[in-house]
Amino acid sequence: MPASFQPDADPTGAELIAARPSIRMHAMDGLLIEDVPLNSIADAVGTPSWVYSATTMRARARNLRTALAETGLDISLHYAMKANDHLAIVRILRAEGLGADAVSGGELDRGLAAGIAPADIVYSGVGKSELELRRALQVDVGQINVESAEELEMLSGIAHDMGCTARIALRVNPDVDAETHAKISTGRARDKFGIPWNDVPALYARAAALPGVDPVGLATHIGSQIMSLAPFRAAYARIARLVTELRGAGHAVRSVDCGGGLGVAYRNEPAPTPTGLAGALRAAFHNLDVQLLLEPGRWLVAPAGVLLCTVVLTKRSAGTRFVVLDAAMNDLVRPAMYDAWHGIVPVSAADAARPAEQADIVGPVCETGDTFARGRALPPLARNARVAILDVGAYGSVMSSTYNARPLAAEVMVDGERWSVIRARQSTEALWQDESVPDFIA
């Protein structure tokens, strides 16, 4: 944690860059991601563009694996594809030994397309359709996390009908507040997720008696962008107690899926570390002889991506300086949706060196919510200046829409000195290619 962290003060651009190994400022070439100038990418591909650092993703996967390995526990990692499901990213993480956590038929197929073995896929989600469950059974995924009594009965029926057995975990709602944004908190009693922990023993017994399902353990996930270890400890302790209780009732409980949720330091704020999380896991499960699964998403990829943008124009209104970018809430929705704070840094070293003044950084979409930052200290930025919005590798491109008929931005992968477009910028025509105008209208 930076000793100088002040909760109310934003870090400077230089501080943001210094804390992120994937980027650095070059006096002539401007901001680099790994060894590639963002200017070269913008010149070739245009903006807005998502740019990812492969090295950062690998390094973070290794860092997490090492910290977990040091616990001596049996822990497997299942990348939560929802954070960023690009095939290239899933492949990078697969090469680091990770399986996948999928939450829809689409993610399941994407994971398979990226080469993840079905056995390494955990299928989660509060509302899996019958079709999706059939697909999961047909490809024989490693585990299905069941979130309700109704889903349990449905899955048992489908599996029995298909003549197979589903390995299932019951997802427990431990009634723990993850102390994160309300919209991404999932483990409180009132949240839609999981089975109330009091109901778990009876439902586990029911699962053990049903045909077509083999209960192998429990699962939980209390939320995302969790910035202290206390909620993890509280949830894991509750799950560990349930494991003991279920075993006492004669059930085999072989595994516990501990979900994701590890937060990242968007504002250089103090954040929990993989070692801290490993400690919380060890404290709860060290004497239970249970196989653990983790489903990290954000922590692995958020700091590995930037959104490269160009200033369309600047304007002053009622004393506020507005910097209007060519990226908008349709590209990166996190600030509009969760009031999320993302670092914004100039790409040009000369721009970065000028004294900062306050500005609102906004997009061109016709909503006041299309605001990336309010009252942010940034040097003056003129038309055509470029900026990078930081830490957008997770829940960035995957949450994009084409609102305001804005085509999806390009995506680029950087690996050392090499880089490549990994998704072409969508064409405008592609926006309506699947539309038709019926005869009775024409």
Determine, following the binding rule CB under 6 A, whether residue 224 of this chain makes contact with ligand LLP.
yes
Residues 10-69 interacting with ligand LLP (rule: CB under 6 A): none
**Whether residue 272 has a cis bond before it, omega within 30° of 0:** no
List the structure tokens of 412: 């680029």
DSSP structure string for 139-177: HT-SEEEE-SHHHHHHHHHHHHHHT--EEEEEEEE----
Name which of 12 and 63 has its Cβ closer to ligand LLP: 63
Determine, following the binding rule CB under 6 A, whether residue 225 of this chain makes contact with ligand LLP.
yes
Q: Which of 164, 258, 309, 366 is catalytic?
A: 366
**Considering only residues 80, 243, 389, 392, which one is a binding residue for ligand LLP as defined by CB under 6 A?**
80
Determine, following the binding rule CB under 6 A, whether residue 297 of this chain makes contact with ligand LLP.
yes
The position carrying tokens 């300086």 is: 321
**Considering only residues 142, 261, 274, 393, which one is a binding residue for ligand LLP as defined by CB under 6 A?**
261
Determine, following the binding rule CB under 6 A, whether residue 338 of this chain makes contact with ligand LLP.
yes
CB of 225 to ligand LLP, least distance (A): 5
Tell me which stretch binds ligand LLP (CB under 6 A): 23-31, 238-246, 256-264, 363-371: 256-264
Q: Are 384 and 344 in contact (CB under 8 A)?
A: no
The position carrying tokens 């409180």 is: 188
Other Cβ atoms less than 10 A from the Cβ of 433: the count is 7
CB of 3 to ligand LLP, least distance (A): 27
CB of 155 to ligand LLP, least distance (A): 17
Contact mark string toward ligand LLP, 365..404, x via CB under 6 A: ------------------------------x---------
CB of 76 to ligand LLP, least distance (A): 14
Tell me which stretch binds ligand LLP (CB under 6 A): 241-249, 269-277, 291-299, 322-330: 291-299
Determine, following the binding rule CB under 6 A, whether residue 260 of this chain makes contact with ligand LLP.
yes
CA–CA distance, 192 with 173 (Å, rounded to integer): 9
Q: Are 261 and 184 in contact (CB under 8 A)?
A: no
**Considering only residues 85, 96, 101, 147, which one is a binding residue for ligand LLP as defined by CB under 6 A?**
101
**Considering only residues 23, 45, 77, 83, which one is a binding residue for ligand LLP as defined by CB under 6 A?**
83
Tell me which stretch binds ligand LLP (CB under 6 A): 1-9, 43-51, 292-300, 361-369: 292-300
> How many CA atoms lie within 13 Å of 419's alpha carbon, on the beta-carbon side?
25
Q: Any catalytic annotation for residue 366? A: yes
Tell me which stretch binds ligand LLP (CB under 6 A): 282-290, 296-304, 359-367, 433-441: 296-304
Tell me which stretch binds ligand LLP (CB under 6 A): 57-65, 132-140, 220-228, 342-350: 220-228
Name which of 231 and 259 has its Cβ closer to ligand LLP: 259
Determine, following the binding rule CB under 6 A, whether residue 126 of this chain makes contact with ligand LLP.
no
Name which of 299 and 419 has its Cβ closer to ligand LLP: 299
Other Cβ atoms less than 10 A from the Cβ of 275: the count is 14
CA–CA distance, 342 with 217 (Å, rounded to integer): 38
Three-state DSSP state, 23: strand
Residue 323's DSSP bridge partners are 314, 361
Determine, following the binding rule CB under 6 A, whether residue 343 of this chain makes contact with ligand LLP.
no
Query: Looking at this protein, which amino acid is placed at residue 440?
Result: F
List the structure tokens of 145: 């996390």
List the structure tokens of 108: 């399941």
Long-range contacts of 272-278 (CB under 8 A, 24+ apart): 272/226, 272/227, 272/228, 272/229, 272/232, 273/67, 274/63, 274/64, 274/66, 274/67, 274/68, 274/299, 275/67, 275/70, 276/229, 277/67, 277/229, 277/232, 278/67, 278/68, 278/70, 278/71
Q: Which residues bind ligand LLP (CB under 6 A)?
A: 80, 82-83, 101, 124, 184, 221, 224-225, 259-262, 295-299, 334, 338, 395
Catalytic sites, residue numbers: 366
